[in-house]
Structure 1
Amino acid sequence: MSIPQKSRQYILPAGRKNGYKKLTITEVEVPKLKATEVLVKVHAASLQYRDLMIAYEHYDPCLAGREIVPGSDMAGEVIAVGQDVTDWKAGDRVCANFSPAHLHGDPTPATMAAALGAFEPGVLTEYRAFPAAGLVRIPKHFSYQQASTLPCAALTAFNALNGRANPIKAGDTVLILGTGGVSIFGLQFAVASGATVIATSSSDEKLKIADKLGAKHLINYRNAPDWEEEVLKITKDVGVDHVVEVGGRGTIYKSIKSVRIGGGVYVIGILSKGDFPQDIFRLILLRAAEVRGILIGSVAQFRDMVKLIEANPEKTTPVIDKVFKFEDGVAAFAHLESQKHVGKVVIQVSKD
């Protein structure tokens, strides 16, 4: 494949007042590769809640007033490599890690500053150069659309359940809140690990999907607003081993009440609103709960996750709600914002 000279990419303009509604496509020069870089043709990208926050300038005050190439999650094809690159060749199918600089271990200020789609240009572009060390091969049986869902939603869920001294194991019980991208992957990875899953949603239709994916217990929290009591009934007052907590202020107290003594609550999202109970810290102490914030994951964890996916292909197929054409980026963001989706929203950037 010849190296292109131009690339179409999306821009969130500086000084925007209407969030993603001012997304525009522009044409730029394809950069000359550095010795340690890889040029990738982006085939597909998936959106996440962070993309909405950045579009509305709610993510980081330091990003206010900046022009941004959005998006952090992609899958594509290597078309050229720098002169010092030996691990990749043209034709390889890859994802870029959320932060290409986060190779292993815990995140640092430097690795977070290198995250895509914020201070660093994102992936809603036809061609992009990445550091070779920040790329991961995609599962052999995945399409580019499926693989584009992995860098944030899947890796966040994998890190939550496997990232510390108390990793998920067969026989554990896992509470999954909602049916968004992280939650669905958390459900799938838990089932693949031999755990029992309790899933919550405000929609019986969405709970049917969770059931098909292997959730053993289903709770509609509109019908059962005190859903933590339902969780305790299911677990015979013991509590669950792990909670994938995506709600934030409106759900964190209930999540901690749901966890067993010594269990883990993995804080991922800030989707809900609510009062912050004054005695939450007492509750954390009484439950001896590990409450851990999750900032995506490393390249090393990404590689481990691919191994889990390839070992359990039937149980870990990504759930894609809808695929949009590259030219329909605004509509894709609007669909994500509606929160009517189950699983991931994908943009087809280039033809496979």
Structure 2
Amino acid sequence: MSLPNTQMQWLVQGTGRGFDGLVYQDAPVPKVGDTDVLVKLRGASLNYRDLLIPQGKYIFAHNLPVVPGSDGAGEIVAVGSKVTKWKPGDKVVTLFNQGHQEGPIDVAASKTGLGGCIDGTLRQYGVFNENGVVRMPSNLDFVEAATLTCAALTSWNALYGLKRLKKGETVLVQGTGGVSLFALQFAKAAGAAVIATTSSAEKAEILKRLGADHVINYREDPNWGETARKLTPNGEGVEHVIEVGGEGTMTQSLRAIKMEGVISMIGVLTGTNPKESTMEALAKVCTIRGVYVGPREQLEEMVAEMEKHDIHPVMDKAAFTLDSVREAYDYMWAQKHFGKIGIKIE
């Protein structure tokens, strides 16, 4: 097929202007190197980090100007001369940290994040190393598949990256963000019990429909960590906590955790200075672990399980296209969404 010479893309020019620093522009279609693939992107998705980068609030490595977006799915339209694992027509999903192939992340790999250090997915065409994409799940469409890069893989790493989740264990998920909703679905597929926290009856019903065994309204029950503990076998506590709150939730997470359990630190929505955590972790004999997405080997494992159990992401009702990405940023910043925000790319 003949390829265009130019494309439309978004660019974060710099910080200081907030979302006004996002520019929609014409740009060349990138050239394919010997070990690269050229992907016609068909879907993308937003994450909270995408909102922080143009505001100068992102704490991890990034270089500006940069094409934003880590989450993408599309079809390979050209391959480099030395590429053997892919061919035109293959459907793929992007890997968040392009250099994180297997095992624990290191400093070098942490500086290869799409949409932060390397041009990302909010464009029509992207060039990636042949190891920077994985096979797209056959049960998902392009926009659904685009949500897997960051939130889904982070959840999978939390549940399987250090101490693998086992059937019959209990997972505590906080809130209804993308990571928590993926974790809920992965845990139920594994035969685990799920305790979820939320702030409204409406969201509680959605969590129950997704399979949550117990839902606790944290506004009505400020001691929800102890409540969660009492809901586990023999009141011993949960094996895994998906911790997205930070300062305002860590104390309760520590009250819920089982001895030798794992608290996966993923977000800091309520602050960045969790109190008591050091000594409480010792007292609870638990692990508090920071999670920074995950490697390619985990993404491939996760894709296979999503196909096996026909797991689909929870998508927000709003629909956006590439030319309306700025509106999607405003929509997410205003916290109008529930589930992942998808972007269709033509």
Which bracket does the TM-score occupy, shorter chain normalised?
A: over 0.9
**Number of residue pairs aligned between Structure 1 and Structure 2:** 344
Shift of 1:222: 1.0
How far apart, in 1, do the equivalents of 2:255 and 2:60 lie?
Answer: 33
- The equivalent residue for 1:43 is 42
How far apart, in 2, do the equivalents of 1:248 and 1:216 lie?
Answer: 24
Q: Which runs of 4+ in 1 moved over 3 A?
A: 60-64
Aligned residue identity for 2:11? I
How far apart, in 2, do the equivalents of 1:209 and 1:226 lie?
Answer: 22
Q: 2:197 aligns with which of 184, 197, 200?
A: 200
CA distance 1:129–1:275, shift in 2 (3 Å) = closer
Q: Deviations along 1:282-301, whole A, 9 cap, x unmatched?
A: 21111110111101011111
Shift of 1:338: 2.1
Residues 197-346 of structure 1: matches in 2 within 5 Å? Answer: 197-235=194-232, 236-273=234-271, 276-277=274-275, 279-313=276-310, 316-321=311-316, 322-346=318-342
Shift of 1:274: 7.5
Residue pair 1:206, 1:342 contacting (<8 A) in 2 also: no
Partner SS for 1:50: helix
Partner SS for 2:149: helix
Aligned residue identity for 1:94? V
Shift of 1:218: 0.5
- The equivalent residue for 1:29 is 28
Partner SS for 1:149: helix
Q: Deviations along 1:263-287, whole A, 9 cap, x unmatched?
A: 110011111137632x332211111
Residue pair 1:149, 1:318 contacting (<8 A) in 2 also: yes
How far apart, in 1, do the equivalents of 2:12 and 2:255 lie?
Answer: 41
How far apart, in 2, do the equivalents of 1:109 and 1:196 lie?
Answer: 35
Q: Could you tell which deviates more after superposition, 185-194 or 322-331?
A: 322-331
Q: Could you tell which deviates more after superposition, 107-116 or 182-191?
A: 107-116
How far apart, in 1, do the equivalents of 2:323 and 2:111 lie?
Answer: 29
CA distance 1:79–1:345, shift in 2 (3 Å) = same
CA distance 1:201–1:18, shift in 2 (3 Å) = farther
- The equivalent residue for 1:69 is 67
How far apart, in 2, do the equivalents of 1:251 and 1:271 lie?
Answer: 9
Aligned residue identity for 1:5? N
Q: Could you tell which deviates more after superposition, 40-49 or 337-346?
A: 337-346
Residue pair 1:3, 1:80 contacting (<8 A) in 2 also: no
Residues 139-150 of structure 1: matches in 2 within 5 Å? Answer: 139-150=137-148
Residue pair 1:96, 1:135 contacting (<8 A) in 2 also: yes
Partner SS for 1:28: strand
Q: Which stretches in structure 2 are left out of the alignment for 5+ residues? A: none
Using the size of structure 1 for normalisation, the TM-score is 0.94
Shift of 1:102: 1.0
How far apart, in 1, do the equivalents of 2:62 and 2:273 lie?
Answer: 28
Shift of 1:257: 1.4
How far apart, in 2, do the equivalents of 1:214 and 1:179 lie?
Answer: 13
Partner SS for 2:166: coil
Partner SS for 2:51: helix
- The equivalent residue for 1:81 is 79
How far apart, in 2, do the equivalents of 1:127 and 1:17 lie?
Answer: 28
Shift of 1:69: 1.2
How far apart, in 1, do the equivalents of 2:32 and 2:272 lie?
Answer: 48
What is the percent sequence identity of the aligned residues? Answer: 41
Shift of 1:110: 1.1
Q: Could you tell which deviates more after superposition, 155-164 or 230-239?
A: 230-239
Partner SS for 2:202: helix
Residue pair 1:185, 1:318 contacting (<8 A) in 2 also: yes
Residue pair 1:154, 1:185 contacting (<8 A) in 2 also: yes
How far apart, in 1, do the equivalents of 2:31 and 2:175 lie?
Answer: 43
Shift of 1:131: 0.1
Partner SS for 1:55: helix
How far apart, in 1, do the equivalents of 2:249 and 2:154 lie?
Answer: 19
Residue pair 2:97, 2:114 contacting (<8 A) in 1 also: yes
Shift of 1:31: 2.0
Residue pair 2:94, 2:149 contacting (<8 A) in 1 also: yes
Aligned residue identity for 2:284? R
Partner SS for 1:327: helix
- The equivalent residue for 1:5 is 5
Shift of 1:202: 1.1
How far apart, in 2, do the equivalents of 1:7 and 1:181 lie?
Answer: 30
Shift of 1:63: 4.7
CA distance 1:21–1:204, shift in 2 (3 Å) = farther
CA distance 1:182–1:62, shift in 2 (3 Å) = closer
Residue pair 1:180, 1:341 contacting (<8 A) in 2 also: no
Shift of 1:169: 1.0
Aligned residue identity for 1:46? S
